[in-house]
Structure 1
């Protein structure tokens, strides 16, 4: 494939293996939220979108320069709108707000991972500064966070089902069918 066209099966498998990619089809890439956030912050700080994508394992000759430009422009516009509602903030102010939001997201993810690992009593220590010793209850999660968790779990289940199907297929090919003697 050359820049932004239809992906081959091999390219789809390569892209699916990257942490920056949430999903990929023959003609579409869905990027992970973390990658979009980091990419937007780095871009607003002056880094080249091509460099950011390349470092994430997404070379422009595979992804396509137009696809990169459009993605970054869309993410930047959404980020600006989300932090200010208008275009009156400069890039450094936008970056500061995005970084704070990203930190909160990481803390939430860390807390949710701790909850999933079996911490008793459905609560875990909050991992943010200024809140040492506080606890967060699973029932205290807002609808957005719960929705994100459900979405992530559904994607993980899909990944595991595809991996299972692939392993079963390999196993069936490796084991010869039994013959019946009469």
Structure 2
């Protein structure tokens, strides 16, 4: 397997069998909406795009690192624009809005599927119209999703604290050098 470029017939068959892939041609992959939404949420929460793609059965050495990078950048920009409008939101607020939208989409799909199969609507939880665009607290998420988001945010905080400590160390060194020259 190699990254980027045209796919072989075998690679096309492999990719077509993945839930994350909606369609694939010799030189293009179209990802499922669900995969794009989940990928964007996980990426904003601090996960590596290559890890997300690998876990979806899309190895970077087949898909191509550049293709992954460009896709995630495009999805992130579209997601941020779709939920924030003119407002400035931090990543956790964007994630919460995306998760809420994703949950509404799942409920709508379930409702439509149940209507098609004759299952009464009362058996499916429905979100109120007032929930549209509402801010979701971590407590409103299911345990797995909340745990993932909290873990990722803790990891990101740790990374930022280490970077801050490194900057403070470099700043102290620079002050020492300046003091030594004056």
Query: Do they superpose with TM above 0.5?
Result: yes
Checking the alignment, whether the CA contact within 8 Å between 1:80 and 1:87 is kept in structure 2 is: no
Greater relative contact order structure (CA < 8 Å, 6+ sep): 2
Q: Which residue of 2 aligns with 1:7?
A: 7
User: How far apart in 2 are the matches of 1:80 and 1:113?
Assistant: 29
Checking the alignment, whether the CA contact within 8 Å between 1:49 and 1:68 is kept in structure 2 is: yes
What are the ranges of 5 or more consecutive residues in structure 1 without an aligned counterpart?
Answer: 132-182
Instruction: For 1:46-85, list aligned pairs within 5 A.
Output: 46-85=46-85
Judged with a 3 Å threshold, the aligned counterparts in structure 2 of structure 1 residues 25 and 113 are, in CA distance, closer, same or farther, namely same
Judged with a 3 Å threshold, the aligned counterparts in structure 2 of structure 1 residues 124 and 7 are, in CA distance, closer, same or farther, namely same
Q: Secondary structure at the match of 2:2?
A: coil
Checking the alignment, whether the CA contact within 8 Å between 1:107 and 1:126 is kept in structure 2 is: no
Q: Which residue of 1 aligns with 2:170?
A: none
Instruction: For 1:20-169, list aligned pairs within 5 A.
Output: 20-86=20-86, 88-119=88-119, 124-125=121-122, 127-128=124-125
Judged with a 3 Å threshold, the aligned counterparts in structure 2 of structure 1 residues 87 and 2 are, in CA distance, closer, same or farther, namely farther
1:16 aligns with 2:16: yes
Give the superposition deviation at 1:37: 0.3
User: Where has structure 1 moved over 2 Å in runs of 4 or more?
Assistant: 123-131
- TM-score, length-normalised on structure 2? 0.67
Give the superposition deviation at 1:6: 0.2
Checking the alignment, whether the CA contact within 8 Å between 1:80 and 1:86 is kept in structure 2 is: no
Give the superposition deviation at 1:126: 6.4
Give the superposition deviation at 1:115: 1.2
Q: Secondary structure at the match of 1:26?
A: coil
Q: Secondary structure at the match of 1:125?
A: helix
What are the ranges of 5 or more consecutive residues in structure 2 without an aligned counterpart?
Answer: 129-182
RMSD between aligned residues: 1.6
Q: Which residue of 2 aligns with 1:156?
A: none
More helix by share: 2
